[in-house]
Every structure is written in C-alpha cells, then in structure tokens.
C-alpha cells in the first residue's frame, strides 16, 4: 500500500447542475474524470484532512468502483473516517440522515437519480453539506472553479476494501465504518409516523403495491413496509436493486412506472400504489383508479401532516419550487402558513429548513420532504400518505375529492421536450426573454397575460441571489405557464413546460388533466413557438 500523486490536467465541463455532476457513465469511467472531480470537491470545501465523511450511492453501474476510488483518495487526503453504506449503498435521504445523525462533515452521494443506469447510461456525483443537504450554489461554484485548475491528486494504491459486511476496516490511518444502509433510516421513519395505526390499516385488508423499480429503495421498502408494517410479502415489487435498474428508467411517473399505473387502473387494483426513483428521493402516489400529481400530493400532505405524530404540533411554514403548482399556496393561505417559492432543486430549501422557517417542502418533479432530513424523501412521502389514510380511513380518491372541494383544484401538467439541440433550446429561451415586456395585456387562446418575468430568487436567510431560474407567464384567472431548461440531463437540452390552470367550480373538478389544460397548452406554443424552434409538435413526456 502506498500513497502516490498522479499528475492530471483539467477536464472541461465538470460543472455541477441542478443536483451534482451528471454525465454518461463512460465519461465518468474515463481517465482521471472521477478523480479530478473528487479532488475538486476536496479543494472546493477547503480540504478534508481530519474530517469525517459519509459515502454511498444508488447502486447503479460503476457505483462500487467509484466508491473504492473515493475511499482511496479520501485516505490519501487525510480524511479521518468514512462512514459507508454496506456495498456502498445508501439512498439519498438515508445518506442525508446519516450525515446529520453522525454530525459528519458532509458526504458524497453517487447517483444520477431517475436517469437510467448502465455502461451506456448515466452516472453522477454529488457533495452534501454537514446539514445533510446538497451543496449550495457558492460551494458548487467553488468546486467547478477547482475543476478548472486541478493539476494532480493523491491516491492510495491498494486492494479493494471489502464493503460487503457491516464492521470496521482501515485504509492506512483512515477508519472505514461500514453500516447497514437501512436501519438508521427505518428508525427515523418510526419516530415520525404512527406505525401501529398503519399496521392496523394494512391488517384490515387495505392492499398496497410499492414499485421499487429495481433501484435503491427495494431493501428499505421491504424492511419498512413488509417486515415492520406487516404488508404481505410481495407488496414491494422489483425490490432487487440492479446496476442497470433491470433496463428500466427509474423515474416514478405515469410513463416510466406504467406497469404500476396499469395495475392501479385495472380490475383487481390494490388500494394504494407508490413508486420511487433510482436514489429513493422521489415518489409517485396513485390510488385505485386515480393518479395524484406531485403538486397535489404536496398540498394534501401539507393539509394533513398534523395527523402524523412527527407533525402533530403543526407546520412552521411550507415551500415549493417555482414551477410547482400553487395548490400548496391555497393550503398555506387557509392554514395561515408562510409559503416560500424557490428555484428548482432541493439545495434551495436547505436554508429555509435550517432556519426553522418551513417544515414541509416539495417539487412538481415528484419530490416531497420535510425538516427530518435535508433531501427530498420518497419513502417518507409514502409513509405520510399511509399515516393519513390510516387516520382518515378514506380512499385516495375520496381524499382528493374532499381536498379539491375544500381548496379548489390546480390542474397541472409538465411537458418535456427531450434531446433538443442546445442552440435551438437556447434560442427559444432567449427569444422568450427578449419578448417578456411585450406580453402583458396580450390574449392567447382566450387567456389574457397579466404578468411575464424571469424568476430570480433572493434567499431570505443568507441574502444570496440566483438569477435566470425560469420564465413565468401568469394569466388573469390564475392560469400559469413556466418555461425552463433542465439542469440534470446528459444529452442535448430538455425543455420543460409547466402548465397550470385553476378550477373552483365544484362541477368541473373531475375533468381529464390534458383536456382541462388545453387552452394553456395552446397558449404555451403560441407564446414560445415551441414547434417553430424545435420542430417538435408533441412533447416526449407528459407528467
Ligand atoms: C430535475 C427536477 C428538479 C429536481 C432535480 C433533481 O431537475 O426538475 O425538480 O430537483 O431533477 O432530482 P431539472 O433541472 O432536470 O429540471 V433527482 O431525484 O434527479 O435528484
Ligand atoms: Co432522485
């Protein structure tokens, strides 16, 4: 075993996006690629000597190899201790919990989340702070700067560390503590929710189906839903994490979780269905014959969280990402809660949570979470739903109907145009930006533009400002369109168009989503010239 210094040169494009650095797996496997980025993390956070870090990932292809490299670099950089999940596995929320629980100096999460995995698919690396949350923009900017200047990195040359059993290993002077990835997380869930009530519900013939999509939540869901809560074996499906997620796309939405949708809309449907993504931070909720949009789910959770012991004393406030529907605002209004609007990406919730301004937050992209960790949390959302269902003893459809009757309904959909040539996507956004001032007062498919701007966020806690966070068009009557480009893709550009329309007429609360949004969809194309710029007449994915 010896410590060596390897000469390297900067590699272009190592700029962290919405959630860490994501690239094709083969790019990450290229010479010095991972090592350069990890060295830049060490530099960007002011060195790691004497520190304790958490390490784990979603188990995708290259997860195991990358973990070994990071351990050898950590030891060479003088890290005191690394706490690593068995087989280098940790769901993103479990990693966040572990960082907080152990008071560690941060952690590295290996994941490209909902992106497919495999040698020809995607890989990612993300640094989380001592609060358990994704590094904020000033830190990711320092990491990016460091990638442009890296000249060498230190690494230990040695055999692989056996990470297959909990226990303690050493790598030079560095201690490696291998932990069961599930147990601390499961204990946290038990402290927040009424497990007895959920157990009663599941014992009363209420059937659930949780689709782990061959990703990291399988082992977590088996322990929590089947072993602890007594759901019959087989309630958790596709529970074995696989390096390529079984060839699937571990993105919990009606398109990629179609099998679950088919079951839930079929004749012998269970009462409750749910799915999670590659790294376990997203969730999809579906009842018998009814899909709950993530924005609606967030609103329902905010309205009913007090039914769970962990939130019995009420919420401090709530937050949503800007493109997320304003169903949450309606609940906040009624409950007298502050409601914050942040840019896309969980890192923007961290300060609000740390400062005690909000308890619950969420995004339209199937992420919901609370102040229990500093990441969104898929299984947490599933358990909160089950706790609410156990307390109310209503079906998902009944809960949704009651919610819309009380608060009104924000019809909502996101249309994604994937793999667009970046020049075309940028031209579309530039043209929109340049024309914003001319829009107010204009009418598109019967909708009159009231406001048009580009969202910038001033963080109320640290005063930092984040610009160019999406273009928002508001219409009189409450409809809204948001345009932005994705920051998580690895090929071309993805244009996201977020569509929303408000309905309070009790007779019109049960319309089909795309139909209720038809005028808004038409207005989006008229305003942005989507077909003209991209040549596309249909989105690739509608959620
Ligand atoms: C997407 C979602 C965003 C989410 C991010 C990371 O980002 O829109 O809401 O926070 O993915 O989620 P973008 O920039 O592609 O729109 V995950 O589960 O991929 O960590
Ligand atoms: Co994810």
* pLDDT digit string, tens, across residues 260-282: 999 999 999 999 999 999 999 99
Query: The tokens of 66 are what?
Result: 């990358």
| pLDDT over threshold 90, residue 93 | yes
Is 345's C-beta closer than 6 angstroms to any atom of ligand 1?
A: yes
| pLDDT over threshold 80, residue 162 | yes
How many angstroms does the Cα of residue 365 sit away from the middle of ligand 1? 7
Ligand whose nearest atom lies closest to the CA of 280: 2
Would residue 113 show up in a list of annotated catalytic residues for this protein?
Answer: yes
Taking only the tens place, the pLDDT of each residue in 417-466 is 999 999 999 999 999 999 999 999 999 999 999 999 999 999 999 999 99
Residues 394-422 have a mean pLDDT of 96
What domains appear along the chain, each with residue ranges and CATH number? 2-179 (3.40.120.10), 185-407 (3.40.120.10), 409-542 (3.30.310.50)
Write down the pLDDT at residue 195: 98
3-state secondary structure 407-446: HCEEEEEEEEEEEECHHHHHHHHHHHHHHHHHCCCCEECC
How many angstroms does the Cα of residue 14 sit away from the middle of ligand 2? 20
**In the structure, what pLDDT confidence band is assigned to residue 19 with cuts at 50, 70 and 90?**
confident
Residue 160: DSSP 8-state: P
Nearest CA to 385 out of 499, 296, 300 is that of: 300
On average, the pLDDT of the chain sits at: 96
**In the structure, what pLDDT confidence band is assigned to residue 65 with cuts at 50, 70 and 90?**
very high
The closest-lying atom of ligand 1 relative to the alpha carbon of residue 112 is: 19
Is 277's C-beta closer than 6 angstroms to any atom of ligand 1?
A: yes
Among the listed ranges 127-131, 177-181, 320-324, 513-517, which one has the minimum average pLDDT value?
Answer: 513-517
The closest-lying atom of ligand 1 relative to the alpha carbon of residue 496 is: 16
| pLDDT over threshold 90, residue 158 | yes
Is 253's C-beta closer than 6 angstroms to any atom of ligand 1?
A: no
CA-nearest residue for atom 10, ligand 1, is 345
Write down the pLDDT at residue 307: 98
Helix H or strand E segment including 218:
helix 217-221
Ligand whose nearest atom lies closest to the CA of 483: 1
Is 496's C-beta closer than 6 angstroms to any atom of ligand 1?
A: yes
ipTM summary value = 0.97
Phi, then psi, of 225 in degrees rounded to 5: -80, -40
How many angstroms does the Cα of residue 298 sit away from the middle of ligand 1? 16
CB 303 within 8 A of CB 362: no
The neighbourhood of ligand 2, an ion, using CB within 5 A, equals 113, 277, 279, 281-282
CA-nearest residue for atom 19, ligand 1, is 113
Query: Of 321, 345, 469, which is best to mutate to test ligand 1, by the most ligand atoms within 8 angstroms of its C-beta?
Result: 345
Residue 60: DSSP 8-state: -
CA-nearest residue for atom 8, ligand 1, is 365
Is 486's C-beta closer than 6 angstroms to any atom of ligand 1?
A: yes
Is 113's C-beta closer than 6 angstroms to any atom of ligand 1?
A: yes
The pTM (predicted TM-score) of the whole model is 0.95
The C-alpha atoms of residue 107 and residue 82 are separated, in whole angstroms, by: 9
Give Cβ neighbours of residue 512 (< 8 Å, ≥ 6 apart).
none
Write down the pLDDT at residue 16: 94
**In the structure, what pLDDT confidence band is assigned to residue 18 with cuts at 50, 70 and 90?**
confident
Residues 410-422 have a mean pLDDT of 95
Pairing of strands 447-454, 443-444: antiparallel
**In the structure, what pLDDT confidence band is assigned to residue 491 with cuts at 50, 70 and 90?**
confident
How many angstroms does the Cα of residue 294 sit away from the middle of ligand 2? 14
pLDDT above 90 coverage of the chain, percent? 96
SS3 108: strand
Is 533's C-beta closer than 6 angstroms to any atom of ligand 1?
A: no
| pLDDT over threshold 80, residue 489 | no
Query: Of 117, 256, 323, 344, which is best to mutate to test ligand 1, by the most ligand atoms within 8 angstroms of its C-beta?
Result: 344
Query: The tokens of 229 are what?
Result: 């809560």
Taking only the tens place, the pLDDT of each residue in 504-518 is 998 999 999 999 999
CA-nearest residue for atom 13, ligand 1, is 486
Query: The tokens of 462 are what?
Result: 């640290």
The residue annotated as part of the active site, out of 96, 113, 321, 370, is 113
Taking only the tens place, the pLDDT of each residue in 178-210 is 999 999 999 999 999 999 999 999 999 999 999
How many angstroms does the Cα of residue 9 sit away from the middle of ligand 1? 30
């Amino acid at each position: 075993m010896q410590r060596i210094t390897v000469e390297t040169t900067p590699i272009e494009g190592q700029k962290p996006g919405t959630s860490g650095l994501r690239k094709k797996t083969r790019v990450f496997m290229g010479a010095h690629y991972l090592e350069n980025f990890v060295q830049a993390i060490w530099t960007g956070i002011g060195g790691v000597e004497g520190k304790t870090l958490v390490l784990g990932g979603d188990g995708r292809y290259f997860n195991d190899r990358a973990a070994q490299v990071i351990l050898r670099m950590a030891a060479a950089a003088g890290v005191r201790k690394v706490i690593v999940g068995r087989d280098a596995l940790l769901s993103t929320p479990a990693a966040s919990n572990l960082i907080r629980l152990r008071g560690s100096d941060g952690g590295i999460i290996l994941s490209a989340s909902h992106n497919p995995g495999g040698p020809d698919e995607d890989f990612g690396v993300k640094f989380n702070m001592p609060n358990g949350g994704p590094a904020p923009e000033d830190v990711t900017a320092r990491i990016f700067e460091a990638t442009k200047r890296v000249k060498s990195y230190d690494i230990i040359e040695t055999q692989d560390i056996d990470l297959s059993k909990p226990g303690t290993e050493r790598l030079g002077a560095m201690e490696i503590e291998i932990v069961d990835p599930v147990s601390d997380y499961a204990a946290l869930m038990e402290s927040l929710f009424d497990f007895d009530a959920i157990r009663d519900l599941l014992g009363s013939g209420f059937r659930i189906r949780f689709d782990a999509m061959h990703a990291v939540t399988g082992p977590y869901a088996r322990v929590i839903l089947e072993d602890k809560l007594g759901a019959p074996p087989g309630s958790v499906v596709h529970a074995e994490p696989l390096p390529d997620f079984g060839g699937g796309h571990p993105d919990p939405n009606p398109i990629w979780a179609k099998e679950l949708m088919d079951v839930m809309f079929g004749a012998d449907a269970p009462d409750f269905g749910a799915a999670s993504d590659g790294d376990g931070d997203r969730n999809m909720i579906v009842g018998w014959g009814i899909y709950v949009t993530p924005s609606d789910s967030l609103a329902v959770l905010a309205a009913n969280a007090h039914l769970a012991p962990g939130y019995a004393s009420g919420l401090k406030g709530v937050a949503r990402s800007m493109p997320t529907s304003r169903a949450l605002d309606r609940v906040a209004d009624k409950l007298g809660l502050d409601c914050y609007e942040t840019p896309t990406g969980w890192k923007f919730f961290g300060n609000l949570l740390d400062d005690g301004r909000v308890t619950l937050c969420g995004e339209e992209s199937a992420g919901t979470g609370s102040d229990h960790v500093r990441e969104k949390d898929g299984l947490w959302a599933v358990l909160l739903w089950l706790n609410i269902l156990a307390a109310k003893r209503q079906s998902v459809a009944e809960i949704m109907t009651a919610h819309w009757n009380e608060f009104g309904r924000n019809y909502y959909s996101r249309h994604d145009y994937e793999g667009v040539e970046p020049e075309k996507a940028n031209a579309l956004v530039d043209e929109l930006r340049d024309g914003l001032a001319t829009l107010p007062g204009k009418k598109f498919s019967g909708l009159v533009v009231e406001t048009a701007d580009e969202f910038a966020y001033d963080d109320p806690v640290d005063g930092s400002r984040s610009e160019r966070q999406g273009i928002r068009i508001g219409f009189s009557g409450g409809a809204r369109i948001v345009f932005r480009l994705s920051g998580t893709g690895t090929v071309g550009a993805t244009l996201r168009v977020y569509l929303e329309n408000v309905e309070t007429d009790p007779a019109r609360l049960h319309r089909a989503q795309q139909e209720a949004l038809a005028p808004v969809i038409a207005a989006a194309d008229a305003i942005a010239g989507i077909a003209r710029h991209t040549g596309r007449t249909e989105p690739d994915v509608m959620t």
